[in-house]
């Protein structure tokens, strides 16, 4: 088995039921994420799907929205559930990664600056090498209390800036898949 794992964080229908949801960037995100998932599967990289859970609202298990965001098709190696921003807190994920000999993580998912960035920082500080695949993350515009509006692209650029060469290698889908000399399954 590979010593690399793909994390697909919070790519769930729950987000469609949040007031900030915007379809504008969803198609390019899902296309790049699907390419990443398919490439990982072809290279026998474990694909780990992480779902966020809450007590109520669209992230509650009872809501029916804690399921893979359409149109993503994924056959995860393992599924983990979290209640914190970092996928490494109280999810069982760190133990699984250690048991499987995983040394490098490829991070993708929703939201760029929240759970994806938090997991990246936590993973780096815990000793994993991380490829952060911004194009396979999704976020939404936000307004600062000062009134300044930050676009999704602004937020992604800021996330890359603060992670780059400190916590992660910023990688495209192709770089994340090819950068580790992993064989493609026959």
Sketch the domain layout of the chain as residue ranges: 4-178
Q: Which residue in 19, 9, 14, 21 sits closest to 140, CA to CA?
A: 21
pLDDT at 96 over 60: yes
CATH code 3.40.462.10 for 4-178: no
pLDDT of residue 185: 40
Residue 7: CA atoms inside 13 Å, Cβ hemisphere, count?
42
In the structure encoding, which two tokens stand for residue 164, read together? 């780059």
The Cα–Cα gap between 84 and 184 comes to 34
The Cα–Cα gap between 121 and 163 comes to 8
Residues of the chain above pLDDT 70, percent = 95
Secondary structure (DSSP) of 50-114:
EEE--SSGGGSGGGS--SBPTT-----SEEEEESSSSTTSSSSHHHHHHHTT--EEEEEEE-III
pLDDT of residue 2: 86
Q: 8 - beta bridge partners?
A: 49, 108
pLDDT at 186 over 80: no
Q: What is the pTM of this model?
A: 0.95
Question: Mind listing the pLDDT tens digit for each residue in 37-85?
Answer: 999 999 999 999 999 999 999 999 999 999 999 999 999 999 999 999 9
pLDDT at 180 over 70: no
Cβ distance 97 to 128 under 8 Å? yes
H-only helix segments in 61-109: 93-99
List C-alpha distances in Å: 160 to 5, 15, 92, 115, 134.
20, 22, 27, 14, 7
Average per-residue pLDDT for the chain: 95
pLDDT at 181 over 90: no
Question: Mind listing the pLDDT tens digit for each residue in 28-47?
Answer: 999 999 999 999 999 999 99
């Amino acid at each position: 088995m590979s010593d690399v794992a793909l994390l697909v964080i919070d790519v769930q229908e729950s987000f469609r039921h949040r007031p900030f949801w915007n379809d504008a960037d969803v198609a390019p995100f899902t296309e790049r994420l699907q390419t990443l998932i398919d490439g990982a599967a072809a290279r026998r990289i474990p694909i780990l799907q992480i779902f966020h859970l809450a007590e109520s609202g669209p992230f509650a298990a009872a809501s029916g929205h804690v399921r893979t965001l359409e149109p993503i098709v994924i056959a995860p190696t393992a599924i983990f559930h979290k209640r914190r921003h970092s996928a490494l807190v109280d999810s069982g994920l760190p133990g699984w990664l250690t048991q499987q000999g995983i040394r490098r993580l490829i991070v993708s998912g929703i939201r760029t600056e929240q759970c994806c960035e938090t997991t990246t920082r936590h993973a780096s500080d815990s000793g994993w090498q991380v490829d952060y695949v911004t194009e396979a993350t999704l976020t939404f515009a936000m307004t600062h209390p000062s009134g300044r509006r930050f676009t999704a692209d602004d937020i992604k650029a800021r996330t890359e800036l603060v992670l780059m060469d400190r916590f992660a290698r910023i990688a495209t889908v192709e770089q994340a898949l090819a950068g580790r000399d992993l064989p493609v399954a026959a």
